[in-house]
Amino acid sequence: MGATTAPDVTVIIGAYEAMPYLIRCLESVDAQTLPAGRMEIVAVDDGSTDGTGEYLEEFAARTAIDMRVVRQENSGGPSGPRNVGIGLARGRYVFFLDADDYFGEEALERMVAMGDRAGTDVVLGKVIGVNRGAPKSMWSRTEERVDVHRSKVIYTLSAQKLFRRDLLERIGLRFDERLETGEDALFTMEAYLRGAGVSVVADYVCYHLVGRADGNHATRRGGYTLRFDAMEAMMALIHRLEPAGPKRDQLMVRPFTVGMLQQFATGLLRQPPDEQRHKMELAAPLMRSYWTDGVARRIKVAERLRLACVARGRLDLLTDVLRFLRGGEVPELVRSDRGDKLFLAYPYFRDEAAGLRESDYEVTVPDWHGDDRVRRPKRARGTAPQQPSTARRAVRRLRREIRGWRTRLSLG
């Protein structure tokens, strides 16, 4: 590697059995509008047997980009190769490019310019799927700096982003090689929370997320027990880095809705009873430690109710709720006597024997009642909150007088 000055960006590629997708991947790096002298490639062949390592070395011999190829025994996942790449990187930024995927031609130039202009430590470039789905909610507009707690960026925690290398070195951030799934989400969330800001490039397709014909995607690794391990790691990270309060509650919505709810969707009804019970057992300590009213009130009723059943260890109630949802039934919309609350009357609403709370059914965020959008009722502007009744005021006054008599007697 002949360059003496640090490049702007190091493209880190961990590759395992990546042919023929690797060909387009590397061509997309070679085609970048960012000049070759301003970037480098660190590619790690993780024990491939399909010619991946040989192709990496062939490409390194003919590209104008400084490129280092590491060939190692298979590590069992993407974390090891990525960590090797971080250790060898010299760029001011690093980008983790999966060997199946490819860049838009202006991707690195635009993202580096954004990071330099905004002074942020993480830059997201717009992602689209090729023969597979891709996240969409965070690409509504280009922003130099987003509020992580309010933005949709917490719903894209894959590693395919531009990270300032100084951040990774300053806080010692690496991928957790003990996790067999979810390691990229943990890495990215920590960078979001400990870095100097997050930027979004939404007006140009920077990254093409490719669906392999053989379906062999890293995101599909592992069984459900590994998913619970990943959830626990994410929940613990958020609690460690974010003080208790509304901001933490908002961040915790992510692992509960993206992680936990996926394990307790209607597909649970098709799973063997032993597996259903095992999932409830795995969820129990997480619900005890991390499920709070502050989190619950930021989630839609149908989702919150399922989690409330899990929190209470009531597989029987959960099963009935899931059957109701699978049937496509629409719950009754119920207004409180005072008109200040709306409820979606899913199964067991106001059934004292079931042990679920009325608040589990309350509309607290924009929700759906069939095809209609429903929202939490708002008190009309200029109206006073409802006052306690005369009887209630009299009872409260009497209680204060009694407390006063007791105090005077104890002092006497």
CA–centroid distance for 50 within its chain: 33
Q: Report helix angle 183-194 to 224-241, nearest 10.
A: 10
> Which residue type, as a one-letter code, is found at position 55?
Y
Cβ-proximal residues to 376 (8 Å cutoff; 6+ apart), any chain: 341, 342, 362, 363, 364, 365
Instruction: Note whether 207 and 125 are within 8 A (CB).
Output: yes
Which residue's entry shows tokens 């202009």? Answer: 117
Active site residue 351: no
Burial class (CB in 10 A: 0-12, 13-18, 19+), 24: middle
Would you say how long the chain is, in residues? 412
The one-letter code for the residue type at 39 is M
Per-residue CA distances from 171 to 10, 154, 194, 248 (Å): 19, 20, 8, 21
Catalytic member of 66, 184, 360, 367: 184
Which of 215, 232, 239 has the alpha carbon at shortest distance from 178?
A: 232
Q: Which amino acid is at 213?
A: A
Rounded CA separation 179/253 (Å): 21
Cα–Cα distance, 302 to 194 (Å, whole number)? 33
Which of left, alpha, beta for 377 (phi over 0: left; psi -120 to 50: alpha)?
beta
Query: Nearest 5 degrees, angle CA 167-CA 28-CA 183?
Result: 40
Alpha-carbon span 313 to 311, nearest angstrom: 6
Nearest CA-CA partner of 164 in 92, 107, 88: 92
Instruction: Please give the positions annotated as active site.
Output: 184
